[in-house]
Amino acid sequence: MNSLVIPPGLILILGGLLLPWLTPRLRSFAAIGFPLLTLMMVWLVTPEHSMKLAFLDYELDILHLTSEGRVFATVFAMMAGIGALYALKHARILELSAAFVYAGSAIGVTFCGDLISFFVFWEIMAIGSTLVIWANCHQNKRAYGASMRYLLVHLLGGVILMIGIAAHVANTGSVEFTAMKADNFATIMIMIGFLINAGAPPFSAWIADAYPEASPSGTVFLSAFTTKTAVFALLMGFPGESILIYVGMYMVFYGIIYALLENDMRRILAYSIVNQVGFMVVAIGIGSELALNGATAHAFAHIIYKGLLLMSAGSVLLMTGKRKCTDLGGLFQSMPVTAINGIIGALAISAVPLTSGFVTKSLETSAAAEAGLPWVWFMLVAASAGVFLHAGIKFPWFVFFQKDSGLRPPDPPWNMRLAMWIMSFLCILIGIVPGIIYGILPYTLDYKPYTVDHVVTQMQLLLFAGFAFFALLALMKRTLTISLDLDWFYRKLMFGLIIWIKENIPQLIAPVITGFKNFGQRKFDRLVRVHGPQGILARTWPSASMVLWVAVLLAVMMILHYMRPD
């Protein structure tokens, strides 16, 4: 056993906490160095490694290698590094620091062998990502509200997940994180907890609500980790759960329709995340080896090309200060590097031959065919055409072409251009040499993406989808609008109801609040009676673990103190 091996995620988490204390020069090196170190560590871990921790009566393992986890951890570490390069000059230290903690805990999730440490990393991710959005409060007055709504959705997801885990442990006595069947209360709760983070209905709106309110680099970080960690969790926890086919299919078309209606360029791309994650969720629902390979490979490729698209959009936002399609257009003339890289990302997401999308997404459609599910196949093919429509053409067309907005900003600074070129290179490299990604997938794969039939049919599908776009361009005229989503129920209806009660029947308020308080007190008293002196929390703990937790609390308080908004 190699004593040098530590959980890779911890390097990034600790590195992120260290960043604020470094000098600016050292920080630039550290921002690239920590992700590189993490990436190396991901590949040093072998299946024999483990790091066992004792918690209550359970044994946790935070160094548990799976081939699926390694693929996700690899691309997470790459994204942290290239994202940091992109963020280097403009991002606030809080954002970069939070992004590293966020990325590190996402990697932590991929190395968890048990549900308890899984949950801890899962929740640190929620905090890290909220801080990434929060870091943009001084630039964007909508960021604060969006970050709080984001946090509420994730805390709700976390509570549901915790309920599921507790019930699951009570049922089975095991904390091991392994494939489950959603056939009882506990596992159904766990699956719902995962799905909320994936952007599944009825909680899909948070992605387009929160992500585009972060800074240009913040949105790049956000796009990579939360939803794809949820894909990883579903992949490991619920492969072949057929309900996921329907959930994923809804997400696929939800993403397309809402992206078609959207005017804000980064919200278009945020809806497109739901669409792409939908493909992966469908594949997990199919559950064959080919399908699971497809979901893994697609997640890897998607993180890179979606990061690239958001880098391109972020560059436009940074250089013009504008984010709405109605204000943009004609930027290819003065921002050629941003436009070219944006187009490469758009081609990759559309699965054009020679790009990463072509060699990965086709695994999922082939899996639907192999599994003998014609309706799934026909809908996924239609959706592939729809991806070209809403992300492949719509994004570059309305931002870089359409009418000439008269804006002539230059390309962004060198670090951002370099980050985009690296991402473009990766999109094309994977497209040309798919063996790179096929070789690290969980199951052995014998698949030839480049057959004449596949290339020809894919080009026909996409070119005629593109024709539909230009033929119906008049129907897609941009308007200064947003589209209502299911978040209307908590943002408008419930809020309005409370205001209405407050104004019209204020005498109701006091009894309701007192009622709530008494209810909570009664439950708490019962808890103390039943579980108090003899309960789990009253047992003697080793003083070492107490010291550890005090240290953790102190560290968290110190970070929070440091990070309070200016």
Partner 1 sequence: MSKNTSPEKQKHWLYREENRRTLWIIQFAILFIAILPEFFMHHHASFEAQGIHLDASSTFYAWYGFATCAAMVLGAKLLGYVLKRKDDYYDD
Residues that bind partner 1 (CB under 8 A): 142, 253, 256-257, 260-261, 263-264, 324, 330, 333, 369, 372, 374, 377-378, 381-382, 385-386, 388-389, 401, 404, 406, 408, 452-453, 456-465, 467-472, 475-476, 479-485, 491-492
Q: Shortest approach of partner 1 to residue 387 CB, angstroms?
A: 10
CA–CA dist 248, 274 (Å, integer): 9
Q: Shortest approach of partner 1 to residue 460 CB, angstroms?
A: 4
DSSP string, 278-307: HHHHHHHHH-SHHHHHHHHHHHHHHHHHHH
In the complex with partner 1, the residue whose CB is nearer, 17 or 325, is: 325
Look at the alpha carbons of 447, 452, 454, 455 in this order and tell me if their dihedral is positive or negative: positive
**What are residue 60's phi and psi, to 5 degrees?**
-100, 150
Task: Return left, alpha or beta for 411; rule: phi > 0 is left, psi -120 to 50 is alpha, else beta.
Answer: beta
In the complex with partner 1, the residue whose CB is nearer, 464 or 549, is: 464
**What are residue 143's phi and psi, to 5 degrees?**
-65, -40
Q: Shortest approach of partner 1 to residue 342 CB, angstroms?
A: 16
Q: Shortest approach of partner 1 to residue 360 CB, angstroms?
A: 19
Q: Shortest approach of partner 1 to residue 85 CB, angstroms?
A: 31
DSSP string, 215-284: -HHHHHHHHHHHHHHHHHHHHHH-TT-THHHHHHHHHHHHHHHHHHH--BHHHHHHHHHHHHHHHHHHHH
In the complex with partner 1, the residue whose CB is nearer, 21 or 450, is: 450
Residue written as token pair 């593109």? 466
CA–CA dist 172, 379 (Å, integer): 38
In the complex with partner 1, the residue whose CB is nearer, 23 or 451, is: 451
Q: How many CB atoms lie within 10 A of CB 507?
A: 7
In the complex with partner 1, the residue whose CB is nearer, 30 or 290, is: 290
In the complex with partner 1, the residue whose CB is nearer, 138 or 141, is: 141
**Residue 114's beta-bridge partner residues?**
176
In the complex with partner 1, the residue whose CB is nearer, 199 or 386, is: 386
**In sequence order, what are the residues at sequence separation of 6 or more whose Cβ sits closer than 8 angstroms to the Cβ of residue 165?**
115, 116, 119, 175, 186, 190
In the complex with partner 1, the residue whose CB is nearer, 20 or 201, is: 201
On the 0-12 / 13-18 / 19+ scale of CB atoms within 10 A, 517 is exposed
CA–CA dist 167, 91 (Å, integer): 42
CA–CA dist 286, 291 (Å, integer): 6
In the complex with partner 1, the residue whose CB is nearer, 52 or 403, is: 403
In the complex with partner 1, the residue whose CB is nearer, 6 or 461, is: 461
CA distances from 487 to 42, 80, 500 (A): 38, 30, 19
| Cβ contact 265:324 at 8 Å | yes
